[in-house]
Structure 1
């Protein structure tokens, strides 16, 4: 295949720069992110320290090499859909997550200094589903598992 500039292509046919492919929904973005993480389930990824204790501006700028967010940012499909960098704030915006949801995916207080990609993928998938009720959340925090009744 021969590389040609936009001007060269316009001499052959109509080129419309304003045509864009449809963007993914937030659920589709989260599903893609989880799939990327699941491709290397045993990969050890870094976390971000104590995100809940940071000022919002500091938290939004937080990043570290080789985090679950970095895995998403390295994907050309997610970049083409609008993921601009691998900061906490950009992940929150792009994936349409609350601080609490993103905190569960990348914060060291839940995961330690590193997290397995498979575990991060599970948290990403949980973020894409309906939020459990208050009782279910309390049960999970106290008992460490989802209620079974």
Structure 2
């Protein structure tokens, strides 16, 4: 087998670079939200009573046509590492805490169906919240840390 660089191959074939993969949690959440926002009135079946299932069953839970299945159908999310369309796959890939995934996908919160526009707003809030929490913690740490350091080293 002969190896050639991308530049050499461009003269022989039509070579297009792969799209940038979604490397950060925020990018993954926002991409999923953008997909959902294309059809904000679309509804997806909610996952049934997620919180009542044992952990192992919860991780494997999947519903045909769910918002997770919709995300899994996206080639960029799959190429970025979304392994499947189960509750556990979504929690792992999108780095969702149990409460966040529950609020986003469960029937006890959303009823029988999840509206795409509402799910998109929740995803965007989750994407922004991590940054806001970090900034708030930094400010509080600075407010507490500076006077403490002045007392110790003052």
TM-score norm. by structure 1 comes to: 0.73
In the alignment, structure 1 segments of 5+ residues that lack a partner are: 1-6, 134-149
User: What is the Cα-based RMSD across aligned positions, in Å?
Assistant: 2.2
Report Cα offsets for 1:56-106 as digits up to 9, x if no partner. Answer: 100000000111111111110010001011100000000011110011110
Structure 2: gaps spanning 5 or more residues: 7-17, 134-154
- Residues 43 and 113 in structure 2, CA contact (< 8 A), matched pair in contact too: yes
TM-score (norm 2): 0.71
Q: Distance in 1 between matches of 2:21 and 2:111?
A: 38
CA distance in 2, matches of 1:59, 1:74: 21
Paired positions, count: 120
Of the two, which has the highest radius of gyration? Answer: 2
Structure 2 residue 108 is the aligned partner of structure 1 residue 109 = yes
Going from structure 1 to structure 2, the CA distance change for 1:49 and 1:37 (only over 3 Å counts) comes to: same
Q: Is the 8 A contact 1:69 1:86 kept in 2?
A: yes
Q: Which runs of at least 4 in structure 1 moved beyond 6 Å after TM superposition? A: none
